[in-house]
Structure 1
Amino acid sequence: MRYLDGVPLTRQELPPLPGPPTSGTVEEERLHRRQKLAGALRIFGRLGFGEGVAGHITVRDPEWPDHFWVNPFGVGFRHMRVSDLVLVDHDGDVVHGSRQVNRAAFVLHSAIHQARPDVVAAAHAHSPYGKSFSSLGIPLDPLTQDACTFYGDHAVVTEQGGAVVLEIEAGRQVAAGLGSCKAAIHQNHGLFTVGRTLDEAVFWFLSLERSCQAQLMAMAAGEPLPIRHEWAAYTAQQNGTPWAGWFNFQPLWDEVRHTDPDLFD
């Protein structure tokens, strides 16, 4: 028998891995989503995804499914607080909060939320590698284990590529291009990701951005070798689930809630 600090080393009975929490009331779930949204925006800011006033993350309200919470227009990601967030209805009107909303944010996200009842949250930013990769007009290749997360589950959207999306019909075209996928590369614009939780949507965005970076670096260095179809498909089945997206976000959430307690204000 081996011992560590006087305790025998035997097989431990471990608790099951956690999953998305279920709040007891609508009010508790609403607060939970708003807190996660403020924290996710701060993470975007830390990673340099802010570019002027561009970029937005939305999360559907748990009581009114045709309303969503979003970051206000012109407020920096790195200092976002729960109290800064605004609630927007299906007409684009702010019904809670005192700040303006980016018109493109409403047009794009309202179209996605309307087209995809399964989507609770959506993320978009003018991240450097995502917008660089989007100019190629090609899908992400399964070059790495991380990229396989999106294998067969992302789209290249050419409609409205590069144009500022301000009209309702233009937003619907982008949402139609996303289809049933969890991610889209919008040509000459950048990345969009969605999820059944805010955690999932945000982690998919971070992972897709880094996968775009990896492919750009590999293409610059030579001719990268893709992963075989059966291996890529298997990895996507393991690592591309809604739970996997949620779980991968938890270390980021734990860090930002400890370092930035004022986000809860």
Structure 2
Amino acid sequence: MAPSATHQISTVATDLKKDVAVSKQPEVHVHGGEDKTPLEAISHGPIIMEEHRRHILIHMAAVFRDFSRKGFTEGMSGHISVRDPEFPHYIWMNPLGKHFGLMTAGDMICLDYYSGKVVGGNNLAQMYTLFVMLTQTQVVPDICYLYDSIAVYASYGGIVFAAEEGENIAAALGPKNKAAILLNHGLLSVGSTVDEAGFLFGLLDRGCTIQLQVEAAMRGNPDLKKHIVSDEEAAYNMKMASEKNSLYAEMQPDLEYEFAMAGEGVIEKGVDGMRIWGDAQE
């Protein structure tokens, strides 16, 4: 730009400063979206909760089949519970008496965990399991990896028919634990997704098996020595593998295997007919 041009611009700017009074009134910014959740506000389109729910239910069924293949079945006992993506006080879980290896997305039921009322799906609820889940679903929304995050619950009181047992287990888990060993009962895991919780459950079960094998081997051969991973190394490994999406990805090879073994459309069977009816239906 020529010198004369810059001089003219500078002169105009100086003259404007003399004639214009600068307002000191505070600026009010209207952002919009105050009536939306953060996810809705940043989205470029509507959130398709039905697709999110469909994904959850299909993967939930696949995790059940994976559990069956790994031997995590015991008669009618055992369950997986997942928070509904649209209604945070609703949870999806498996029906009583359905074998894990035959589970499909359409088998799941939806419960209001405040009242215990069935609000979606078409099967009878596993009521005693609901009591366990009431507090756990609220207290442990998001937790990290297994190092320094395994609780031991030593006060198992038998089959759960009251909310107190769920509250006690939730208290044992605390704000950071993601898994628990329930003495004289079994294992428990939680996660941000059913995929994450399923992977951690298998990880903990295999860890317990290896520990027992090591202890048995040492009793048979006193010359064997344990080589325990240091706290620093364990903490580093936990940090590198603690992200919930990473744990979700860890489970996908097993689930892909289950989808392939079941055949196209088998695990997904019935999912398109799943609905939330809430209080509209008794």
TM-score after normalising by structure 1? 0.76
Amino acid corresponding to residue 136 of structure 2 in structure 1: I
Unaligned segments of structure 2, at least 5 residues: 1-45, 219-224, 270-282
Unaligned segments of structure 1, at least 5 residues: 1-22, 120-148
- Identify if the C-alpha distance between structure 1 residues 188 and 73 changes in structure 2 by more than 3 Å, giving closer, same or farther: same
The answer on whether the counterparts of 1:40 and 1:253 sit within 8 Å (CA) in structure 2 is yes
Q: By percentage of residues, which structure has more strand?
A: 1
Q: Describe the SS at the equivalent of 2:267.
A: helix
Name which of 76, 98, 105 aligns with 1:82.
105
Q: Residue in 1 aligned with 2:236?
A: 234
Amino acid corresponding to residue 165 of structure 1 in structure 2: V
- Identify if the C-alpha distance between structure 1 residues 118 and 232 changes in structure 2 by more than 3 Å, giving closer, same or farther: closer
Amino acid corresponding to residue 240 of structure 2 in structure 1: Q
Q: Residue in 1 aligned with 2:148?
A: 152
d(CA) in 1 for partners of 2:81, 2:104? 14
Q: Map of 1:249-260 to 2, 5 A cutoff?
A: 249-260=251-262
Root-mean-square deviation (CA, aligned residues, Å) is: 1.7
Q: Map of 1:164-203 to 2, 5 A cutoff?
A: 164-180=159-175, 181-203=177-199
Q: Residue in 2 aligned with 1:37?
A: 60
The answer on whether the counterparts of 1:156 and 1:185 sit within 8 Å (CA) in structure 2 is yes
The answer on whether the counterparts of 1:60 and 1:66 sit within 8 Å (CA) in structure 2 is yes
d(CA) in 1 for partners of 2:238, 2:105? 34
Deviation at 1:98, TM superposition (A): 2.7
Tell me which structure has the larger Cα radius of gyration.
Answer: 2
Q: Describe the SS at the equivalent of 2:86.
A: coil
Name which of 245, 262, 267 aligns with 1:263.
267
Report Cα offsets for 1:207-263 as digits up to 9, x if no partner: 110000000100111153311111111111112332231111010111111221311
Report Cα offsets for 1:169-202 as digits up to 9, x if no partner: 1111111111121111111111111111111111
- Identify if the C-alpha distance between structure 1 residues 97 and 243 changes in structure 2 by more than 3 Å, giving closer, same or farther: closer
The answer on whether the counterparts of 1:162 and 1:189 sit within 8 Å (CA) in structure 2 is no
Amino acid corresponding to residue 171 of structure 1 in structure 2: G
Deviation at 1:70, TM superposition (A): 0.4
d(CA) in 1 for partners of 2:148, 2:53? 32
TM-score after normalising by structure 2? 0.72
Structure 1 runs of 4+ with >3 Å offset? none
d(CA) in 2 for partners of 1:92, 1:112? 15
Q: Residue in 2 aligned with 1:116?
A: 140
> Does 1:92 pair with 2:116?
yes
Taking every aligned residue pair, what percent have the same amino acid on both sides? 36
The answer on whether the counterparts of 2:140 and 2:190 sit within 8 Å (CA) in structure 1 is no
d(CA) in 1 for partners of 2:226, 2:128? 36
